[in-house]
Amino acid sequence: MAQIFYFMMKNLLKFNLISLVVFTTLFMMSCGREPRSDSSSNDYLKAISSISSSVINTLKGTEIPILNHIKSPSLQEKNLVSYGFSSSKAGTINYSGGCFSSTRNAIKGDHHILFVTMVEGRYDNCAIEVTDTEGNKSEPLRIPSFKVDFSPPKLSQIGEFRVHGRSLKIKIKANEAGSLAYSGNCSGDLQNLNKGKSEVTIRFPGDGLYRGCQIKLSDSSGNTSKPLFLGNVRIDYSLPVLTEINPVPKKTHSNRPSFSFKTSKSGTLKFNGRCKGNVDKAVSGINHIALLTAEIGDYDDCTMTLTDSSNNRSQPLRISPFEIVEDQS
């Protein structure tokens, strides 16, 4: 705005000065002289035109270049920051502050330059000036403040992760804020990460062993962290299935009757009702156990369940009813 005001005032002064020069020339050439012939009048006009043109050309040479922003600074690659500006005149570019470019010649129009040999930090004192061929220097063009950051962020895991169903929860720590990206057949519920500690829920598409799940953090300057690998993750969301194989005889004299069942997965057993078991663990496949009973009578409310290592619990298996009878022998 200051440059525009300066330009308007300068042109107004030009016009007034030109008018003054022309008027003075006419006055001086006409004072004290007799009326002239047509040829003499033509000489006067030619002289006035020559003087006016000379004055105008001289004044034109006093115009300073006017500079404007056209593109904000942006980091392109290491040690290079791009920037765009326009100049109303050609000339030589001068740099000040912490910025420098190998581009020294300015043209009339738009420029796209690269600041080179930048070190990390914030730049808020950079400016550009253009000096034209007549030696007129533009007002300094202050370049918007920008930050140069080449250091990748750091992302680390805190403690062990906890698997629950088809997802796991993991605590992570970042040395700066940024955005998270997931790969390796997994996804996460957190996209924008703050500096410090956070908890992320990682999801997997189904049961199985996952070896390649990883997380990366990208900061605002486009730097990306080393991948954080989760290692081997086994996802098991299927419920164990219990099947009765050899039920207890409907009538038995034993207070520790044998019972056989089959399970699709290993895990921990839990008994309900009047029955208890002599073991609390089962392996995948067929298991033979003894049911512990307390007294003679009917046992028609016995059930059992199995919970696997992923905390998946089976549907209750109802043990076929049986009766403990007194031994008459």
Mean pLDDT for the stretch of residues 140-155? 93
The answer to the question of residue 39 being in a domain is yes
Q: Which domain holds residue 209?
A: 155-235
Mean pLDDT, range 82-93, rounded to an integer: 97
Residue 134 domain-assigned? yes
pLDDT tens by residue, 224-278: 999 999 999 989 889 999 999 999 999 999 999 999 999 999 999 999 999 999 9
The sheet carrying 178-183 orders its strands as 192-193, 178-183, 214-218, 228-229
Distance, CA of 79 to CA of 88 (rounded, Å): 29
Residue 138 has pLDDT above 60, yes or no: yes
The pLDDT, as a whole number, for residue 33 is 47
Out of 197, 214, 235, pick the residue that ends a domain: 235
Q: Which residue has the tokens 């605590």?
A: 171
Does one domain contain both 231 and 272?
Answer: no
Cβ–Cβ under 8 Å, residues 295 and 239: no
Confidence of residue 163 (pLDDT cuts 50, 70, 90): confident
Q: Check whether 144 has a pLDDT greater than 90.
A: yes
What percent of the chain is predicted at pLDDT more than 90? 67
pLDDT at 179 over 90: yes
The answer to whether 163 and 233 are in contact (CB under 8 A) is yes
User: Is 209 within a domain?
Assistant: yes
pLDDT of residue 166: 84
Whether 254 is covered by a domain: the verdict is yes
Do 301 and 249 lie in one domain? The reply is yes
Q: What is the mean pLDDT of residues 8-23?
A: 47
Residues 317 and 261 in one domain: yes
- pTM to 2 decimal places: 0.59
Q: What is the pLDDT of residues 95-123, one digit of tens each?
A: 999 999 999 999 999 999 999 877 889 99
Same domain, 74 and 111: yes
CATH number of the structural domain spanning residue 296: 2.60.40
Residue 329 falls within a domain, yes or no? Answer: no
181 to 206, 220, 224, 239, 327: CA distances (angstroms): 20, 14, 10, 31, 71
Residue 80, in any domain of the structure = yes
End-to-end CA distance of the chain: 117
Domain count, the chain: 4
Q: Which residues make Cβ contacts (< 8 Å) with residue 259, sequence separation at least 6? A: 246, 247, 248, 288, 289, 290, 291, 319
Domain final residue, candidates 220, 235, 250: 235
Least confident of 33-47, 149-163, 229-243, 283-297: 33-47
Structure confidence by residue, pLDDT tens digits, 23-68: 444 444 455 444 445 555 555 555 454 444 444 444 455 699 999 9
Given a cut of 60, is residue 78 above it in pLDDT? yes
The answer to the question of residue 127 being in a domain is: yes
Q: Are residues 253 and 290 in the same domain?
A: yes
Sheet containing 317-318: order of strands: 281-282, 267-272, 303-307, 317-318
- Name, in order, each residue with C-beta under 8 angstroms of 142's C-beta and a sequence gap of 6 or more: 126, 127
Verify that 226 and 248 share a domain, yes or no.
no
Classify residue 89 by its DSSP letter.
S
Q: Which of 212, 235, 258 corresponds to the end of one domain?
A: 235
Q: Is 296 among the domain residues?
A: yes
